[in-house]
Chains A and B, each alone.
Chain A
Amino acid sequence: MNACVAPLPMERLIEYWFDEVAHAQDSLIEEHLFVCAACSARSQQLAAISAGIKQVVAAGDFGAIVTGPFVTRLKQAGLRVREYRVPPGGSVLCTIAPQDDLVVGRLRASLGGIGRLDLVIHDAADGALARLEDVPFNAEAGEVIFAPGASYLRTLDTLTQCLELVAVAEADERVIGKYTFNHHRYAG
């Protein structure tokens, strides 16, 4: 491969991929990508990551904190989303049906004035604990939406998990909500 005489920064290639550059700049980048194998190949990596993430998510292999508008868009696109809305201190019986594409837990909480928020997950059976640090949230929405991977949920039989939202400040931590999910295998 020939060396690139003026390699484009990765930031610019990313902005190009997401249609975030002005039209005139867009054309210049395209012209460069057609004559530069190195920059074209880096852009192809972005394309491969994009396609790969779509595959992983579609297979239900990706768990994440998501947003309310994202869940709405999935439902508008025809995906079947099972939702559990849980207030602080609440518990819920939950499952995943064969036809479900996604299950989300909507953890209601008062999030005003919080800088960093962690989600702590306790497994009631074996005490296993996971801590998701600095989860994204929109304080105005008043909730954190947790979407475990659907393929993981399908492997579960009966399981109780306790989730805690923890506000983290420099000097201390404060639990702002506890939520209990009693999962059972779908019985039809």
Chain B
Amino acid sequence: MSRLTVAKTYKLYIGGSFQQTESGRSIAIVDVKGNTAAHMCHASRKDFREAVEAATKAFGAWSGITGYLRGQILYRMAEMLEGRREEFAAAIQVTGSITPATARKEVDATVDCLVRFAGWTDKFQQVLGCANAVAGNFYNFTVPQPQGVVAVIAPETPSLLGLVSLLGAPLCAGNTTVVLGADANPIPTAILGEVCQTCDVPAGVINLLTGSKKDLLEHVASHRQVVGIYAAPLGKKERVIIERGAADSMKRVRFAAMQGDDWYDGSRVSSPWNIEPFVEMKTIWHPSAC
């Protein structure tokens, strides 16, 4: 007799725990064969607010630890993802006609992407910051500092690599994050929480939501505790919603330029110039005299 597979219940990942959406709403995900693959949480505004709350609480600790430690935690995330290659490759293939080889290529690129960002945690300061030769007896230097809570709006494809590419930049600099994953295939987003849970990323540093990005855009753009938004390339209508909403609390907004194969260009994705929008430059003066 064939054994009944125990299917996973997919949840939101908020404040370091797996939660059902408070709304009780779900979205059915249909696989390539037309079968219902899963019912995913349809995150509400309240879920988003709760995630921002968790990310705000986590900011002090995450931005306060050393770059060396943050780098090791991100590297650990890569290790955990590597160990789950098959599960993620299968998840990527659920809704689209993606070959197993392409799916594996995406997972591998995602692991490498995390390795790249893990390496930036104690180096971007040296590339983006500098000492300034002012005309006077002063020590003057400019250092980049993380901003706070950054919302990440992932592209539809590649669902896993795109998400992690946009997540890595603000994360490695010490920002905490709330991620809106791909709508069409939210399964990689949902199971990424399991990687976060086992890689020593403190609770609240990464929060993962699934559902409908469109439903939450306006809310993300206007939430005053969100200081930055890193979004996949979006249509003009969505860009207007985000940029207008961002004006009131003067959020730092960046739309990624990556498209198609660009996501697989590791040096482009993990360029320090993608980290730079999510740090604030602080310039410190001190007189030099006896």
* A and B co-occur in one complex: no
- Residue ranges of A at the interface with B (Cβ–Cβ < 8 Å): none
